[in-house]
Structure 1
Amino acid sequence: MRWGRLLVGMAVLALASGSVQREDELVRVVGYAYTFQGIPYSWGGGHAARPGPSRGTCRGYTGSVRPCPALWTRGLDCSGFTRWMYRLGFGEDVLGNGTTDDHIRRLRKVSVAQPGDLVFYGTGRKTHHVGVYVGGGKMINAFATGTKTRIDDVSAMRDLLGYYHYPA
């Protein structure tokens, strides 16, 4: 199964690099995101000193799965996932540690999303979710406790804030 995801990621890279005039780094972000589907969601996961799957935290956890599984689940939350994908794609930790509110400040809003841009949810004052846009109205994201990184429609949540591009 992992090889299948890797081949899909490579195909996306090939298609995107030939059809989209964007930074090579954003194209790599999409390829990596496809490759790393299926990683468990963990509240606070991905926020260690180096980006990537890690145990999470139960501080601030409000999910319905009880008890909070983050302390024993090695995985990623939504901002940890996008941070790691951007680290892989750009070769450095360009988003840095923090929440979706911290990450959105490092980006600029765009009116038309391109693969590799980030999709944010919430309000102008407070965000609560982020995913990597892959085209066709879809994103790859770490959705919620009890799920794994996966592809969802950008309409999966009602409060789409917009699409954001790096570098700002």
Structure 2
Amino acid sequence: MGVNRRHMGLVALLLVLAAGSAPLNDELVRAVDIAYASRGSLPYSWGGGHGRLPGPSKGTCQGYHGAIKPCPAARTRGFDCSGFARWVYERAFGSDVLGPGNTDDHIRRMRRVDSPLPGDLVFFGTPRRTHHVGVYIGGGKMINALATGTRIRLDDVSRVRDLLGFYHYPG
């Protein structure tokens, strides 16, 4: 995952924008860097990234409701949204801080914030049932594993309906 000038420019811009609101910690800076460098790298795979350790894995067809039939997850090595967030945070924080599970499990380890910083997580759904998470990079954008048939990608936060909020890991 090499760093190019465009990437460095984005990271510098994010740091400048964030500096006006609150200082970024090293882990959040690394989370943005890791997420941004991952764009286009691996496909979405329902249940992918949920092995014993964080990282890309083959998914599962259990609970799959995607549009592509038959379910490709069991033969696709990649990430679903929470598997991607878990992997990014493991690499950024140096340990598996989000742990196994899905978006409902991960949000319980976070605290909601009104002013998100790049590197915070953005969750979608309801307080009782979340269904998507992305890594917020600032400017209304997130890096995420969106859906079957896509790869890790950059999207507007508004791309997914029912924004629940932004969450910060207390580490």
TM-score class, shorter-chain normalisation, is: over 0.9
CA–CA separation in structure 2 for the residues paired with 1:146 and 1:31: 24
| Paired residue secondary structure (1:134) | strand
CA–CA separation in structure 1 for the residues paired with 2:7 and 2:26: 14
TM-score, normalised on structure 1?
Answer: 0.92
1:134 aligns with 2:122: no
| Paired residue secondary structure (2:137) | strand
- Say if 1:45 and 1:54, in contact at 8 Å, map to a contact too: yes
1:157 aligns with 2:151: no
1:94 aligns with 2:97: yes
In the alignment of these two chains, the number of paired residues is 165
The residue type paired with residue 164 of structure 2 is L
- In structure 2, the partner of 1:148 is 151
- Say if 1:117 and 1:165, in contact at 8 Å, map to a contact too: yes
Decide which moves more: 8-17 or 155-164: 8-17
CA–CA separation in structure 1 for the residues paired with 2:114 and 2:170: 15
- In structure 2, the partner of 1:57 is 60
Shift of 1:13: 3.8
1:75 aligns with 2:78: yes
- In structure 1, the partner of 2:109 is 106
- Say if 1:30 and 1:132, in contact at 8 Å, map to a contact too: yes
Task: For residues 47-85 of structure 1, give each alpha carbon's deviation from its aligned partner in whole angstroms, at most 9, with x where no partner exists.
Answer: 011111110011111111111101110000000000000
Divergent runs of 4+, >2 A? 8-20
Residue 51 and residue 121 in structure 1: after superposition, are their counterparts in 2 closer, same or farther (change >3 A)?
Answer: same
Task: State how 1:4-23 maps to structure 2 within 5 Å.
Answer: 6-7=3-4, 8-17=6-15, 20=19, 21-23=23-25
- Say if 1:12 and 1:30, in contact at 8 Å, map to a contact too: no
- Percentage of matched positions with identical amino acids: 62
TM-score, normalised on structure 2?
Answer: 0.91
- Say if 1:12 and 1:31, in contact at 8 Å, map to a contact too: no
Task: For residues 80-119 of structure 1, give each alpha carbon's deviation from its aligned partner in whole angstroms, at most 9, with x where no partner exists.
Answer: 0000000111011100010000000000000011100000
Shift of 1:9: 4.0
Segments of structure 1 that go 5 or more residues without pairing to the other structure are none
CA–CA separation in structure 2 for the residues paired with 1:76 and 1:9: 22
Segments of structure 2 that go 5 or more residues without pairing to the other structure are none
CA–CA separation in structure 2 for the residues paired with 1:65 and 1:136: 32
